[in-house]
């Protein structure tokens, strides 16, 4: 084909492809603008748009993924709600997205990322914290203890590689019947004393569990038969994974040797006899072919071993997953019954009397100004659901620990007929659903533990609160 014709074809291909990329980029910027126009009340949408374009140039150039758009929308929703600046918002979007791409589950990143408001957090720290939350959520460790544990992992900058070991150590201690408060406390004291560098994570956990076990030997619960079987499966899985790596390494080695032999044989055939007699050449080629056949046989052998190991691994994974699901169902059923009992007690108490508004206002005032802290439940720091639980405790009523669980207590009421003491719930999450709770006071004012301001009062009529309002519940 003439050079001129080829040049024309390439030119037309270029001008055909360029608009596609341009259109994709234009569509993405339009999506970003749509999110910001919809979600920004406090945040300056134009400023944030320019910062996002500067912060995500390669992603916009390639085309924004649905996950990034979802994270962008969820983070903006939250930071707008909490009054966080535009520059910090973009920093958080990047952190959450990078931790998600590293493999952290979005549901748990959603729970923890607001610690970045007041702290410098690395992608690895956020990744480790989100994965720890997931492991704890699948365990019997009470939430008030594991949230403090995870928060401290960020605040005290624990070695990220040690966080999974420390997490599983705490879960193991609680599974064995030890007091949930003592195990994490013992681990954290050792961490503060620099024992991690001296002992390593595994030994630190063993020593902490041993210490608590010596304090309360009567509580120690040996492994059940089901737990022993599950532990054996996990050991078997680890051994199979180790064998798989060995086989993969051996197979890769034989493939390399075979490739070199093929190149050598090709060279022999291309260069001719080089002074060798014909019988010698034939023997040499025959020997090389035999070597190649042997290599291929070993490679096939390793491939079969890989298939067998993968099949065995699948069996172990299925059994482990089945046990995990069964335990999760039992845990969920137990928690459902606990919440149901709380709801029935609240209904009985609500029918029997009115809320004491003087006590309500007094309890709220005591907490005004206390800083927000993820998982916090004290005057040093408190989160939204711990705040509402403490206020209601003054009314003689115990609420569940989380905002989502508190939404199951009481009866739904219209937000136009709110009364003092009503619980009001908001959605400001990435993944959607109730993620924040406050207590209505009067005259459109509600009290809540704001992530940026601590315990404060706000107006439910302000646009950035009213558009996040999901429901309101009345107990008394």
pLDDT tens-digit map of 288-319: 899 999 999 999 999 999 999 999 999 999 99
Interval 455-475: pLDDT, tens? 999 999 988 888 889 999 999
Say which range, 15-19, 21-25, 272-276, 322-326, has the weakest mean pLDDT.
15-19
In the block, tokens 């709770």 appear at: 437
Per-residue CA distances from 109 to 113, 126, 140, 385 (Å): 6, 7, 21, 18
Is 353-474 a domain of CATH 3.90.1720.10?
yes
pLDDT of 350 reads 83
Active site residue 436: yes
Q: Quote the CA–CA distance of 18 and 15 in Å, as a whole number.
A: 5
For range 413-425, the mean pLDDT: 94
Domains of the chain, by residue range, sit at 23-102, 103-222, 225-339, 353-474
pTM above 0.85, yes or no: no
| pLDDT class of 17 with cuts at 50, 70, 90 | very low
For range 319-346, the mean pLDDT: 90
Q: Residue 69 above 90 pLDDT?
A: yes
SS3 state of residue 438: strand
Say which of 436, 451, 468, 474 is annotated catalytic.
436
- Give the Cα-Cα-Cα angle 142, 147, 153 (nearest 5 degrees): 130
Mean pLDDT over all residues of the chain? 90
| pLDDT class of 167 with cuts at 50, 70, 90 | very high
Q: Quote the CA–CA distance of 375 and 142 in Å, as a whole number.
A: 11
pLDDT of 27 reads 85
For range 17-29, the mean pLDDT: 59
For range 381-403, the mean pLDDT: 94
Q: Residue 354 above 80 pLDDT?
A: yes
Q: Which residues, 6+ apart, have CB-to-CB distance to 365 below 8 Å? A: none
pLDDT of 135 reads 95
For range 172-183, the mean pLDDT: 94
- Domain 225-339: which CATH number of 1.10.3470, 1.10.287, 3.90.320, 1.20.120: 1.10.287
| pLDDT class of 61 with cuts at 50, 70, 90 | confident
Q: Quote the CA–CA distance of 83 and 163 in Å, as a whole number.
A: 31
Contact assessment for residue 465 and residue 428, using Cβ atoms and an 8 Å cutoff: no
Q: Residue 14 above 80 pLDDT?
A: no
Q: Residue 416 above 70 pLDDT?
A: yes
Per-residue CA distances from 196 to 126, 157, 162, 171, 438 (Å): 20, 12, 9, 18, 40
Query: How is residue 370 annotated by DSSP?
Result: P
Say which of 78, 258, 448, 451 is annotated catalytic.
448
Written as six digits, the tokens of 293 are 């056949």
| pLDDT class of 1 with cuts at 50, 70, 90 | low
Say which range, 124-133, 181-190, 324-333, has the weakest mean pLDDT.
324-333
Contact assessment for residue 150 and residue 129, using Cβ atoms and an 8 Å cutoff: yes
Interval 45-55: pLDDT, tens? 999 999 999 99
Rg, the chain, Cα only: 31
pLDDT of 463 reads 84
Written as six digits, the tokens of 290 are 């035999």
| pLDDT class of 264 with cuts at 50, 70, 90 | confident
Interval 181-208: pLDDT, tens? 999 999 999 999 999 999 999 999 999 9
| pLDDT class of 4 with cuts at 50, 70, 90 | low
pLDDT of 269 reads 80
Contact assessment for residue 416 and residue 427, using Cβ atoms and an 8 Å cutoff: no
| pLDDT class of 15 with cuts at 50, 70, 90 | very low
Say which of 126, 171, 209, 384 is annotated catalytic.
384
């Amino acid at each position: 084909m003439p050079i001129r014709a080829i040049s024309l074809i390439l030119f037309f291909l270029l001008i055909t492809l360029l608009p596609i990329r341009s259109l994709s980029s234009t569509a993405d910027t339009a999506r970003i603008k749509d999110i910001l126009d919809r979600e920004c009340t406090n945040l300056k949408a134009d400023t944030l748009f320019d910062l996002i374009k500067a912060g995500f140039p390669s992603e916009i150039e390639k085309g924004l993924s649905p996950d990034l758009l979802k994270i962008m929308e969820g983070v903006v929703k939250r930071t707008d709600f909490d009054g966080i600046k535009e520059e910090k918002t973009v920093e958080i979007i990047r952190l959450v997205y990078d931790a998600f791409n590293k493999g952290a589950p979005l549901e748990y990143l959603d729970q923890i990322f607001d610690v970045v408001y007041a702290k410098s957090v690395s992608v690895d720290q956020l990744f480790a914290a989100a994965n720890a939350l997931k492991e704890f959520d699948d365990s019997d460790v009470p939430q008030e203890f594991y949230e403090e544990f995870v928060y401290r992992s960020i605040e005290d900058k624990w070695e990220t590689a040690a966080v999974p070991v420390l997490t599983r150590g705490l879960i193991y201690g609680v599974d064995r019947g030890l007091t949930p408060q003592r195990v994490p406390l013992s681990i954290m004291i050792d961490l503060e004393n620099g024992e991690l560098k001296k002992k390593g994570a595994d030994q630190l956990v063993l020593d902490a569990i041993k210490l608590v076990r010596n304090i309360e030997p009567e509580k120690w619960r040996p492994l059940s038969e089901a737990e022993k079987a599950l532990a054996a499966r996990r050991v078997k899985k680890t051994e199979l994974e180790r064998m798989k790596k060995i086989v993969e390494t051996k197979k890769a080695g034989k493939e390399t040797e075979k490739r070199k032999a093929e190149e050598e044989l090709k060279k022999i055939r291309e260069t001719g006899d080089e002074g060798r007699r014909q019988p010698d050449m034939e023997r040499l080629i025959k020997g090389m072919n035999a070597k190649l056949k042997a290599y291929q046989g070993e490679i096939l052998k390793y491939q079969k071993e890989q298939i067998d190991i993968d099949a065995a691994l699948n069996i172990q994974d299925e059994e482990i997953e089945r046990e995990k699901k069964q335990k999760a169902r039992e845990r969920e059923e137990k928690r459902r019954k606990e919440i149901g009992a709380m709801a029935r007690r609240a209904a009985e108490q609500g029918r029997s009397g009115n809320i004491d508004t003087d006590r309500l206002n007094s309890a709220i005032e005591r907490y005004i100004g206390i800083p927000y802290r993820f998982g916090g439940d004290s005057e040093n720091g408190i989160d939204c659901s711990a705040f509402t639980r403490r206020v209601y405790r003054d009314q003689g009523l115990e609420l569940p620990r989380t905002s989502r669980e508190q939404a199951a207590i009481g009866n739904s009421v219209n937000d136009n007929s709110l009364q003092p003491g009503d619980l009001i719930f908001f959605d400001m999450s990435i993944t959607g659903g109730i993620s924040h709770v406050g207590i209505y006071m009067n005259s459109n004012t509600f009290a809540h533990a704001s992530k940026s301001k601590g315990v404060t009062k706000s107006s439910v009529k302000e646009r950035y609160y009213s558009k996040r309002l999901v429901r309101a519940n009345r107990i008394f």
